[in-house]
Structure 1
Amino acid sequence: MRSYFRNFSCFIFAITVTAFTQHSFGQNSKKEYLNRINIIQQNINKFFYVEDKGLYLETIGKHEKPFSYLWPLCALIQATNETETLGYKNTMKPVVKAINQYYTNEPPSPSYQSYINKSSRFYDDNQWIAIAYLDAYNRTKDAFYLDKSKEIYSWLLTGYDEKTGGGLYWKEDEKTSKNTCSNGPNILISLQLYKITKEKKYLDTALLVYDWTNKTLRSSEGIFYDAIKVASSKIDYATYTYNTGTMLQANALLYEITNDDKYLNEAKIIATAAEKHFYQQDKLPDHYWFNVVFMRGYLELYKIEKDLNRLNFLIKDAERIWNNERDENNLLGKGKNKSLIMQAGMLEFYARLAQLHLTKS
């Protein structure tokens, strides 16, 4: 009898833990996330994709240019890689074709410009593409993705110098600032290339940029500032979720590569500080794509820790957005002028949550 009650108690405890986990973390079923992914993907194709041009609109309402700048496509290419990870077919293909129209052979090295006509080149735009392409390469082993990432990496090195002690600039033709958004992602690309090729030069680059970013742009509590102005060496103290997210992910990756506890400890410090800093009044700041880049860092740490508590606030914010910031057409974002980058940000967000498999269906 005692054995029966002990076994029954264990059974009830298991059910309770499962129910508590799903309730407390607000995690939907995978089926629900897939439903949201379908809706968002259909809306992107319906409202933003210009099929006869193979390009995308930046916003539904008024827009500065006939077609999107490159930046929103940097968000969409990562989002479609995540949907293909879930088993969707050929969602990346039209985005890759669109991105190809931004390609330029301009010296000193080929890369992608900010618009389809001759325009400025941003180091971070190219970095986001390389990050997505390296993820796609790891998934598919298609050499196109690795070759393009290496090409981007070569161009990125032209944006590094020793002014302000090191670091990469943000914009090629206006070398006025060195930003976390053009250094954190560079670390991630370098680390991914090192993991794939085992060539030490990539790890050396990652550590060089990592050390400079920490020395120059890290706050005392572990949040990363926006930039340093080159002429004055003054810090722009603005903080954005994605900047801290890339450095969180960099530390987690460095731990995975080196097994050095200092990187894991730093990742934990950043993760704790960032939740406190950015998650205010039960919400994250309004930029969905910034926030999903932020989430990538937590997911990299989750691979190591397996601590669901780290993800709770991110899951809750994804629910808040779906429930409160969605219009009658299921387009996401505040205001009437819906943007491609916000749809892409949440497409990636829900795709990554669907990949977690915290629930069975």
Structure 2
Amino acid sequence: MPLARYTAVALCWLGMSTAITFENVEDTFDTLRAWYNSSTGLWMPSAGWWNSANCLTMLANLATIDGTVKDRTKDLWQEVFTKAPTFNAQMTKTIGAHWRRELPSKLYLTDEIEEDATKFGFFNGFYDDEGWWALAWIAVYDLTHEQRYLDEAIRVFDDMHAAYNTTPVGGIWWNKDKTYVNAITNELHFSAAAHLANRCASQDAQHFITIAQDSWNWFYGSGMINDYNNVKDGVMATDPTGINMPIVWSYNQGVILAALTELSHATSQSLYITIAHTIADAALSNLTAINNEENPNLVLHDPCEPNCGIDGAQFKGIFARNLAHLHSVAPEDRYAEFLMKNAEALWQYGRDEFNRFGEVWSGPFAEPAGASPQCSGMDLLVGALAQLGEWEGNGTYIGGKVLSQGDEGRDGQGWDTVSGEFESSSARSPPVAGMAGRSKRGFFGSW
């Protein structure tokens, strides 16, 4: 990425104030609506099938913390639930599966494969797609408490799990054509099982705990985590997709965080949180410019930027969502700072006058806009607002319980309201403003 972009972002931290509020994210919600197709219940064609599941997850999380959005989306869940499967049964999925590495900072799509994607409900030929939809319906269940959404999540998960341990190296295939054993599919299998363990009746919870533990144990020993504690894309391929195996994508660092957080609660074992912190810290070290003097601001980047396409544009928001999930249960100053810095960079530099987000959070905004980068950016804002509340760029909180410059400079929790910095000696994060308190389960719920 050009140095000019990093330099521009650095100006934000030299005294320019950026407010992040619920009104901001509501404005981006209005923009997202333009890409929603009510006839199909999806955000296609500006986003894909699996991306639509992530948009649904993000909106369920947003509705949980924002009453205005909750009221405006009250009919959405049923619409997607009934209409999306009908569209799914008619579509053919075209995917870009082959990547070749040409430059250190770019990946270029070289050819495409068409796969028959005749579906049944939210099933298809790709197990990772099924995992995204299982997690989406779990998020909707958390919001609505309607059993049918949890039942659907279990039904989709069961189709995934039927393929578990059927590959030559263990774990689950990426697709039903058995071409790749990758991280994201196995992370989603693990995460869905761990989420279900904390939401199903006690007689079923142990079933999902056992699956989640087996899935994690396999993943940990598979070689998917490299020597730097970053999660690689995959471990085995039966066709040229294998060239993608060593690449480190942000979303692979993210999904595992919520999975470990959920499993920690289900088993009452804190070791899983310790592992999650290790993976999160490695992502902050290696996918941001934390060690780069030209960009000391924790802004997250993927190796495909600025040409990530529909799929890659979704990745970073998934990381932010899952980091916020971990932070909600096991808060660390560095995670709060990451969410804050990235949200401020995106809002000030990665957005246009129509509240559309680009895929590069440090900016400048660039076309094409669409539901994928929009949902990704909103995931970041939702995660930040859920865990930090509203704030000014100078560290002053402006929502609900307000911190002001007159509060003797310190809030007693390690946050300097004058400088907008964290006390290095503090192990606490800034208080949640305008909310009842920090969530204790998953993203927003309470155990």
Q: Taking structure 1 as the reference length, what is the TM-score of the superposition?
A: 0.79
In structure 2, the partner of 1:101 is 86
In structure 1, the partner of 2:43 is 56
Match of 1:79 among 30, 33, 58: 58
What root-mean-square deviation, in Å, do the aligned CA atoms of Structure 1 and Structure 2 show?
A: 3.0
In structure 2, the partner of 1:291 is 316
Cα 1:27–1:308 change in 2 (3 A) is farther
Question: How much does 1:354 deviate?
Answer: 2.1
- SS in structure 2 at match of 1:306: coil
- SS in structure 2 at match of 1:229: strand
- SS in structure 1 at match of 2:28: helix
1:3-152, aligned counterparts within 5 Å? 32-46=20-34, 48-51=35-38, 54-59=41-46, 68-85=47-64, 86-87=66-67, 88=69, 89-91=71-73, 92-93=76-77, 94-104=79-89, 110-112=120-122, 121-152=125-156
In structure 2, the partner of 1:335 is 366
Contact 2:258 2:325 (8 Å CA) reproduced: yes
Contact 2:317 2:379 (8 Å CA) reproduced: yes
Question: How much does 1:227 deviate?
Answer: 0.9
In structure 2, the partner of 1:240 is 249
- SS in structure 1 at match of 2:276: helix
Alignment of 1:255 with 2:271, yes or no, is no
Instruction: Give the share of equivalent positions with the same residue, in percent.
Output: 19
Cα 1:83–1:297 change in 2 (3 A) is closer
Which is helix-richer, 1 or 2?
1
Contact 1:130 1:152 (8 Å CA) reproduced: yes
**Range moving further from structure 2, 153-162 or 187-196:** 153-162
Aligned pair count?
320
Distance 1:230 1:276 in 2: 28
Alignment-mate amino acid for residue 210 of structure 1: W
- SS in structure 1 at match of 2:21: helix
Alignment-mate amino acid for residue 178 of structure 1: V
Q: Taking structure 2 as the reference length, what is the TM-score of the superposition?
A: 0.65
Question: How much does 1:340 deviate?
Answer: 1.0
Distance 1:108 1:194 in 2: 30
1:147-166, aligned counterparts within 5 Å? 147-166=151-170
Alignment-mate amino acid for residue 80 of structure 1: L
Contact 2:212 2:263 (8 Å CA) reproduced: no
- SS in structure 1 at match of 2:247: strand
Distance 2:139 2:39 in 1: 28
Contact 1:164 1:230 (8 Å CA) reproduced: no
Distance 2:169 2:17 in 1: 44
Alignment of 1:209 with 2:188, yes or no, is no
Cα 1:195–1:266 change in 2 (3 A) is same
1:210-359, aligned counterparts within 5 Å? 210-216=216-222, 217-231=224-238, 236-280=245-289, 281=295, 282=297, 283-285=299-301, 286=305, 287=312, 289-333=314-358, 334-358=365-389, 359=397
- SS in structure 2 at match of 1:164: coil
Distance 1:82 1:324 in 2: 24
Alignment-mate amino acid for residue 284 of structure 1: L
> Which fold has the larger relative contact order, with Cα–Cα distance below 8 Å and residues 6 or more apart in sequence?
1
Contact 1:108 1:158 (8 Å CA) reproduced: no
**Range moving further from structure 2, 99-108 or 297-306:** 99-108
